């Protein structure tokens, strides 16, 4: 892991990966959405409304996976003091918050014709909303920390503590009687018919690659900003 601790070495590797992940992700997303919107059949109960799952499911996955990335980076920062850990966590926060917001918005759009309301204080919806606010809090905390080690450690602790919400989101449909449907895709299979299911893995993989591309791009930007700031400090002191 510390092999990539050198910012210059990391940047050399991240630069081509940013483009590869981005283009591959966009191709997969185009195939998935094209298939989901034009090829898969309508649901016999929900009609065309069900097609929003090809955006909602990847957004929900990445909203949760993004905080998982923040927690992992925060752990590496606190335990191993990895030089790029805080940079990785900061770079993950904004795209993670974006996908959490997309999940909430797309869920509300789906819920209006299905439940008859845009919002319900349902266990899954409420815990996902909490995750979105956790993202906003982490972004503010990390930005306020700047280059100060003490502030970065506080942000890392917050990143770890916030991960408690992830199992709450995952198991909310099992723990509480809720309007939100139960788990449709799991390790034991899926309740979604194969004719409608096949675009979902492509969409999840495609959006995940785009997510990684954005994270790498933001990490490179943060490292470049730190390099410019250090150079300006040296010039000011000379």
Tens digits of residue pLDDT in 130-154: 999 999 999 999 999 877 888 999 9
The dihedral built from the CA positions of residue 112, 205, 4 and 233, taken in this order, carries a sign that is negative
Query: 165-175 and 53-80 helices cross at what angle (nearest 10)?
Result: 140
**Is pLDDT larger for residue 4 or for residue 40?**
40
Place 7 in a pLDDT band, splitting at 50, 70 and 90: confident
Query: What average pLDDT does the segment 215-224 reach?
Result: 95
What pLDDT does 142 receive? 94
Place 66 in a pLDDT band, splitting at 50, 70 and 90: very high
Residue 65 has pLDDT above 60, yes or no: yes
Beta bridge partners of 190: 185
Q: What 3 state SS string does 97-130 have?
A: HHHHHHHHHHHHHHHHHHHCCCCCCCHHHHHHHH
Summarised one tens digit per residue, pLDDT across range 164-197 is 999 999 888 777 766 666 666 665 667 677 889 9
Query: What average pLDDT does the segment 199-207 reach?
Result: 97
What pLDDT does 238 receive? 66
How many CA atoms within 13 Å lie on the side-chain side of 119?
8
Beta bridge partners of 196: none
Percent of the chain with pLDDT over 70: 90
Place 3 in a pLDDT band, splitting at 50, 70 and 90: low
Place 49 in a pLDDT band, splitting at 50, 70 and 90: confident
**pLDDT, averaged across the chain:** 89
């Amino acid at each position: 892991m510390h092999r990539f601790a050198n910012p210059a070495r990391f940047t050399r590797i991240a630069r081509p990966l940013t483009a590869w992940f981005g283009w591959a992700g966009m191709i997969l997303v185009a195939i998935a959405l094209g298939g989901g919107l034009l090829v898969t059949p309508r649901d016999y109960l929900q009609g065309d409304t069900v097609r929003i799952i090809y955006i909602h499911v990847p957004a929900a996955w990445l909203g949760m996976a993004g905080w998982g990335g923040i927690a992992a980076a925060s752990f590496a920062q606190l335990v191993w003091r990895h030089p790029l850990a805080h940079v990785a966590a900061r770079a993950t926060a904004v795209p993670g918050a974006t996908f959490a917001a997309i999940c909430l918005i797309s869920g509300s759009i789906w819920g209006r014709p299905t439940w008859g309301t845009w919002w319900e204080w349902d266990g899954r919806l409420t815990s996902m909303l909490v995750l979105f606010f956790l993202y906003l809090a982490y972004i503010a905390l990390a930005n306020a920390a700047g280059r100060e080690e003490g502030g970065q450690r506080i942000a890392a602790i917050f990143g770890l503590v916030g991960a408690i919400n992830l199992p709450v989101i995952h198991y909310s449909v099992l723990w509480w009687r809720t309007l939100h449907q139960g788990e449709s895709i799991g390790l034991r299979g899926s309740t979604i018919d194969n004719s409608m299911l096949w675009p979902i893995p492509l969409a999840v993989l495609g959006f995940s690659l785009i997510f990684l591309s954005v994270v790498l791009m933001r990490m490179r930007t943060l490292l470049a900003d730190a390099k410019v700031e250090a150079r300006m400090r040296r010039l000011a002191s000379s």
